[in-house]
Structure 1
Amino acid sequence: MKTCSCLQAGRAATFACLFSGLAAGAAPAHAALGDTAPAETPQASTPANAQTLAGGAARVTSYVDAGGTHFNEYIATRNGQIFAYTWQGPTPPDLDALLGRYAADWHSGATALHAAGRDSLHAARVDTPTVVVESGGQMRSYIGRAWLPAALPAGITEGDLQ
């Protein structure tokens, strides 16, 4: 029989809460990372605003979802692909919906991070070859970003994703 310390049990409980909390949030958009952006703005409680980055290489659409969380959706101008999301607000996004086909990579990376004991109570960075997800915060104050490193348009770095 294997025993574990209170610290290990606490980490496991925290990890389980993080996954369940992130999965329970509202989906921020109809399209996921890697998808082509919809022709119209996703339904939101406030109108969307748009701006351009890197001389027009990408556009950023900002909106607030029904839960009050502010999202930035980063779209490559060349092909219309959504290459990143950032969020900040009182409710966490549904990362499975947000990441779409990259959700399995994120889950594998998060599991490996937890197994190595490198996860923390309030923040995590899961860095895989296909997707990077940074998330953190406390109840009613969530922040994060997710992006596809290989899909970043020329002239755009992870530092531009705010």
Structure 2
Amino acid sequence: MMTSQFRILAIVAASLALAAPAYAALGGAPTYPVTASSTSAGAAGQHSAAVARFAASGSSPAASYTVSQTTLSSGTVVSEYIGAGNSVFALSWQGPTMPPLKTLLATYFPSYVQALTDAHVTQGGGYGPAVVHQSGLVVETGGHMGAFVGRAYLPQALPQGVSADDIK
């Protein structure tokens, strides 16, 4: 009797694990589902959960990327900048709460935490925006209670023709 209950529990647990969404983030696949709706570059940021295709201007070949916006249950809007190979090269957020940076930064999260720890020790503590500028990772967070903003990007992964100023 006990083994049959264990088997059923094991089957249910395995089924739930298979049904759970796979999360990736910065440097990987989008964390949140990319919606099928689209908007023009001029209207970007006006629609929640919208996808916009952009082409960078200039004499270099056009850089094409997608921005997928998701509104979290907290009301915070997260934008994922998706380039070639369906890979997220940048993120931005704004809203009443911080987004789950551990999830969004994924494998870059330990580097972020270590850089903040090092900066805290070097500067002797204090409060203020959390800023990390490394050759392979940039994270900038700021704001105050109820109004947080930030962005994170991989400088080496920015498509040709895209600058850090494009990550908003």
Tell me whether the two structures share a fold, i.e. TM-score over 0.5: yes
**Pair 1:39–1:56, CA change in 2 (3 A):** farther
Please state how far the C-alpha of 1:72 moved relative to its aligned partner. Answer: 1.0
Distance 2:29 2:105 in 1: 13
Residues 76-126 of structure 1 show CA distances to partners (whole Å, capped at 9, x for unaligned) of 0x2110011100000101211111001111111111111111875231211
**Pair 1:88–1:107, CA change in 2 (3 A):** same
Aligned to 1:123: 129
How many residue pairs get aligned? The number is 130
Aligned to 1:20: none
Please state how far the C-alpha of 1:56 moved relative to its aligned partner. Answer: 5.2
Q: Percent identity?
A: 35
Normalized against structure 2, the TM-score is what?
0.69
Aligned to 2:82: 75
Distance 1:37 1:96 in 2: 14
Structure 2 gaps of 5+ residues are 1-21, 36-46, 57-61
Aligned to 2:59: none
What is the RMSD of the two structures over their aligned residues, measured on CA atoms? 2.4
**Pair 1:40–1:93, CA change in 2 (3 A):** closer
Q: Looking at CA atoms only, which structure, 1 or 2, has the larger radius of gyration?
A: 2
Q: Which has the higher contact order (CA 8 A, sep 6+)?
A: 1
Aligned to 1:34: 27
